[in-house]
Amino acid sequence: MKRLALLGLVAAVFALAACGGDDGDGDGAAGGDVRGDTVALIEERGALKCGVTDTLPGFGFREPDGSFSGFDIEFCKAIAAAVLGDDAEVEFVAASSSARFELLSAGEVDLLSRVTTITAERDASRAVDFAQTTFYDGQGFVVHADSDIYDAADMGGATICVAAGTTTEQNLDDFFNEQGLSYTPLSGEGSEPQDQFVARRCDVFTSDKSGLAARIASLPNSDDYRFLPLTISKEPLAPGVRDYDSDWKDVVSWVVWGLINAEELGVTSANVDAWAADPPNTAVARLLGVPFEGGETADLGFAVDPQFIQRALRAVGNYGEIYARTVEPLGITRAGTLNALYTEGGILYAPPYR
Amino acid sequence: MAITERPSSLPPAAPTPPWHRRSVRNQLFQGAYLIATALVIVYVINALNLREFGFGFLGDPAGFAVPNQWLIDYDGVTNSRFVMYLVAIWASIRVMLVAIAFATIIGVLVGVARLSSNWLLARMAMLFVEIFRNTPLLVQIVLWYAILIVAIPPIGEVFNIGNAYYLSNRGIAIPWPVPDPGWWNAANWLVWVWVALLAAAGGAAWWVRRGRIARERDTGQPHYPNRWAFSLFAVAALVTFIALGAPVSIDKPIIEGTHYLEGMIITPEFAALVLGLSAYTASFIAEIVRAGIQALPTGQSEAANAIGLTGYQRLTVIILPQALRQIIPSITNQYLNINKNSSLASAVLFADLFFVAGVFQNKTGRALEMFVLIIVTYMLISLLISAVMNVINARVTTHRV
């Protein structure tokens, strides 16, 4: 009898706690309880936590002195400047490809800026929302210069180094199955696939083309390697934010679009001060959040004040400047690629800032 | 506790409060403990938000490939994640089996060598133990891998022995017997003939062994029952196998471009993992063996010497059979450690079950489900190893010395 009473008590406790836990939790998102106002969170903390990669020269790389450099890093700085007014207030967190979404959903980072491809599955099933694409990429292959591999058909039976848990790994499998070729994958994390390729453990190294170029350029004998004239996938690389925070996503997307618009309008880090004081036209005035010829300042209703793009520009310059500073030194030219402005044959087409 | 009568001279006692009674207190404590546990469980379940908990995602196609395939033919487009997980479990089990075999052999040899009267041998064994026991396993595995990748020639300069054995950084390729699928099926009556012959040979071997054991007991002279029985069975199996046409072809590896075809291929990843696990665990097994031997009274060795046994006989007939009682339970723990430590595979790019489960978890975000699955898998393998070792232990401890 006593035991029965005890059981009843336990059941009651369970029921009570279960009811309590159901409140305010009705959207069914798995994992991650940090959601809502990331902008306020960043302002309160006084720093932006940016999840980056630290092994990819040109995109996200930890320099020997501990500082970070690269294309994705510049966008972290731009967004920190936009929200906090200081591009130094970024806390870089090395986010591995396997842990990145968990870091984001657990609130360890506010923003993922680390060569992450938008995919439907990630958008739908993970606690991540993608902001505007910063870099349009595609998957390519690199081989040793003395290799007999010149085309896809030559890769039959090859050992291929690839990063584990990436879209690259899946594209690779799809591609080889479509081609009816066999292959042996060797997958690992971080710089492991690259190291094994250099050690000739694999015949082929595959990744996003920009990443491949960046990694190969960083090697001492970059002439020992050869790219295959082959692109097997679309890889739009975009910053990621947590689900259910559209204010924050708007800020991130519009910093990206703002920097693209700035390039289109001719605003650079060199002339932003002069043009903020005396904007040449209304479009520039709106973008920089300043009044045009004694008029009103347009407040478009972002979660940050209207001058956020101006601050980002002052910190890192426009899209073209970022590209020239970080990606071009790797030998990846911009003209004629997808990442040129739409007016110059690319697909960078930012919506109007108004 | 006996309750004694109070002396009548004292004033009547105040009624004892119920919480002074041990039974009541015990129940209160137990109740509080249960409530606290229940609260913790409920909190965890709520925090994890288990509403979407389920394993349905394992039925979806995996969409990627792993290099080490064994027992299961696999492709990432049509096969489900679950099949992929099975492939990975087999990869892990293969590592464990090989590592257990190597660690046991090396461990016993080194353990015995440590007690050798040969100064150099004993010191070498001690050096082995101290090096491998005192450095982290992860470091050892990564180091083995680095050594292998640097030391062995690239596939372009493959080390070729008689066009049958190859060594390169694609791995070691050796000829391997492949059963002839046309012969090996249940419809072929010759298979059943061979099975019947094997059964007969087994029976004969058992009968010979029994006879020799009896003669040994009667005469006190060695008649090697196990050696005879095993040889008889092996010879019979081999002769009948060849007589029936030896339906196994030996696949010699060949090199095509930059990869091996056919044969058995041992990749550097597999080799590094097995070397690391074997050497590390062998150093512990060596100490267990040494302790087991030293725990025996010295009289056992002295008696063996006194009746004129050789050093080898002393070890195999007197010392080890007794020491095994001490050794086996501890070695079981080491085998369980091999199971658990095999999860370090991803450090050397070997796609074991933990690595593949990690990729699933990364792709689907089903961290909780995958960790439940990983834990259950390792536990099942551990329990299986324990069960086998318990059977062996039971046999050893009832062994007549």
Contact B34 A17 (CB under 8 A): no
Q: Give the Å distances, CA to CA, from B282 to A258, B286, B341, B384.
A: 63, 6, 13, 21
Helix (H) or strand (E) holding A265: helix A246-265
**A-interface mutation test, from B26, B44, B49, B53, most A Cβ less than 10 A away:** B49
With respect to residue B54, please indicate whether it lies within any of the assigned structural domains: no
Which residues on chain B are in Cβ contact (under 8 Å) with A97?
Answer: 362
Q: Give the pLDDT of residue A33.
A: 45
Helix (H) or strand (E) holding A129: strand A128-130
- Number of domain units in chain B: 1
pLDDT (mean) for A22-33: 39
Q: Which two tokens stand for residue B390?
A: 């318990």
Listed residue (A38, A78, A77, A68) closest to A308, CA to CA: A78
Which residues on chain B are in Cβ contact (under 8 Å) with A205?
Answer: none
For residue A58, give the 3-state DSSP assignment. coil
With respect to residue B335, please indicate whether it lies within any of the assigned structural domains: yes
- ipTM comes to 0.73
Helix (H) or strand (E) holding B179: strand B176-179
pLDDT tens by residue, A266-306: 999 999 999 999 999 999 999 999 998 888 888 889 999 99
- Whats the size of chain B, residue-wise? 401
**Residue-number span of the structural domain to which B380 is assigned:** 81-150+270-397
With respect to residue B369, please indicate whether it lies within any of the assigned structural domains: yes
- For residues A193 and A182, give the distance between their C-alpha atoms in angstroms, rounded to a whole number: 19
With respect to residue B250, please indicate whether it lies within any of the assigned structural domains: no
Listed residue (B68, B46, B141) closest to B353, CA to CA: B68
Q: Give the pLDDT of residue B364.
A: 82
pLDDT tens by residue, A119-164: 998 898 888 999 999 999 999 999 999 988 998 888 988 999 999 8
With respect to residue B315, please indicate whether it lies within any of the assigned structural domains: yes
Contact B349 A28 (CB under 8 A): no
Which residues on chain B are in Cβ contact (under 8 Å) with A186?
Answer: 67, 269, 349
Helix (H) or strand (E) holding A73: helix A71-84
Which residues on chain A are in Cβ contact (under 8 Å) with B261?
Answer: 157
In the predicted model, residues of chain B with pLDDT beneath 50 are 401
* Cross-chain CB nearest to A13 (options B39, B363, B365): B39
pLDDT tens by residue, B162-174: 888 888 888 888 8
With respect to residue B358, please indicate whether it lies within any of the assigned structural domains: yes
Please give the domain boundaries of chain A with CATH numbers for all domains. 31-137+235-254+314-343 (3.40.190.10), 139-233 (3.40.190.10)
Tokens 């100064």 locate to B119
* Cross-chain CB nearest to A28 (options B35, B51, B258): B51
**Which pairing describes strands A135-137 and A235-237: parallel, antiparallel, or unpaired?**
antiparallel
- For residues B314 and B116, give the distance between their C-alpha atoms in angstroms, rounded to a whole number: 13
- Chain A, nearest residue to B28 by Cα: A6
Q: Which of A247-261, A330-344, B180-194, B306-320 has the lowest mean pLDDT?
A: B180-194
Q: Give the pLDDT of residue A20.
A: 41
With respect to residue B363, please indicate whether it lies within any of the assigned structural domains: yes
With respect to residue B64, please indicate whether it lies within any of the assigned structural domains: no
- Please check the confidence at residue A101 and state whether its pLDDT lies above 50: yes
pTM greater than the 0.80 cutoff: no
User: A310 CB contacts (<8 Å, ≥6 apart)?
Assistant: A272, A276, A287, A288, A289, A290
Q: Which two tokens stand for residue B163?
A: 């066009």
Q: Give the pLDDT of residue B401.
A: 46
Complete edge-to-edge strand list for the sheet that includes strand A240-242:
A90-94, A48-52, A111-112, A240-242, A128-130
- For residues A77 and A70, give the distance between their C-alpha atoms in angstroms, rounded to a whole number: 11
CATH number at residue B385: 1.10.3720.10
